[in-house]
Each structure stands twice: as C-alpha cells, then as structure tokens.
C-alpha cells in the first residue's frame, strides 16, 4: 500500500477511461486545479450524495479554477448509468484494477461494524496547476464534504 500523499508531493500521473470509455489523463488538466476524489461505489447512497454535492457546486468550483474528477473501481458502463440516473456533471473515471486508487493511497484497511476489510478509502486530493498535491484529505465523510472543501479553500 502506498504512503499517503502530502502537500507538495507530485500527484501520481494517471490515464483512465471515463463513463463513455474515453481515456482521460491528469496531464490534460495542467494549468488548472483539480479536485480528484475517490469513492467506493457508484449508485450507493453515500457516493450518490457526494457526487450530487460536487455536481451542485460545480459552477462555484469551476469559477474558482477547479475541475472535479471522481474515481471509483466501477466499470465505465456502471459510471454511465450513475451519471444518467443522477444527472451528474463531474467527470467520472473507472479504475477497476484500483492501480490509481492505490497510487493515491485511497485503498486500504477499513473498519465497518467491527469488521476490518480492504476497500476504497473515501479520499479527496486537491492538485494544483503544476500537478502537485495542494491538499490530501483521507477518510472524509460523504455528507457535507463538498461544503467543507469550499469553505477551506476560501471559495
């Protein structure tokens, strides 16, 4: 398992398929700030709430120079269903092998109802215009997280 990212680290490069199967790379966002968030599964209550919050605040974030990318282990077909069902406007990327999720230290041990298991750790990494980590937030809550990011970033 990877070490958690710290501010100043170079964000691991990636290229993953989006909901339409189109390859998207972090390098395409050079010159813009990017909020990369990792979530366990499309079409689940917490992940839906988080994706809808990002969508609802996309204009505010975009006006402040931020793009938003959500990454989960789901396949592109499921992401497309998720996007259609919830009218999502954020870019959703598929990482079924979890290689990118692991490189961002967003995969590891989790505890739920007293059981320990491996899974996606809900995390948000804010990458600056040069591709460096500005903030790395791990074990975030689905509800209220977007409002907190906006407040913390002073948007």
pLDDT tens digits for range 108-146: 988 878 889 899 999 999 999 999 999 999 999 999 999
Q: Decide: 107 and 118 in contact? Cβ < 8 Å.
A: yes
What is the band of 13 on the pLDDT scale with cuts at 50, 70, 90? very high
Cα–Cα distance, 155 to 40 (Å, whole number): 27
- What pLDDT, on a 0 to 100 scale, did the predictor assign at position 105? 96
Q: Does 10 reside within a domain?
A: no
The pTM assigned to this predicted structure is 0.95
Residue 99: inside a domain: yes
Its domain, for residue 40, covers 15-152
Predicted pLDDT of residue 1: 55
User: Is 9 inside a domain boundary?
Assistant: no
Catalytically active residues are 47
CATH number, domain with residue 122 = 3.40.30.10
DSSP calls for 49-99: HHHHHHHHTHHHHHHTTEEEEEEESS-HHHHHHHHHHHT--SEEEE-TT-H
pLDDT digits (tens, 9 = 90+) for 53-65: 999 999 999 999 9
CB–CB of 155/64 below 8 Å? Answer: yes
Handedness of CA 107, 11, 50, 99 (dihedral sign): negative
- Span 1-18, average pLDDT: 93
Is residue 31 domain-resident?
yes
- How many distinct structural domains can be found in the chain? 1
């Amino acid at each position: 398992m990877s070490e958690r990212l710290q501010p100043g680290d170079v964000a691991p490069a990636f290229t993953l398929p989006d909901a339409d199967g189109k390859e998207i790379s972090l390098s395409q966002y050079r010159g813009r700030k990017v909020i990369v968030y990792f979530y366990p599964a499309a079409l689940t209550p917490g992940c839906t709430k988080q994706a809808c919050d990002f969508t609802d605040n996309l204009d505010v974030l975009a006006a402040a120079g931020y793009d938003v990318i959500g990454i989960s282990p789901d396949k592109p077909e499921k992401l497309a269903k998720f996007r259609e069902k919830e009218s999502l406007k954020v870019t959703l990327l598929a990482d079924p092998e979890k290689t990118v999720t692991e490189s961002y230290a967003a995969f590891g041990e989790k505890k739920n109802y007293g059981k320990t298991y491996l899974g996606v750790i809900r995390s948000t990494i804010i990458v600056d215009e040069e591709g460096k980590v500005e903030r790395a937030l791990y074990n975030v809550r689905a509800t209220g997280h977007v409002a907190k990011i906006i407040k913390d970033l002073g948007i």
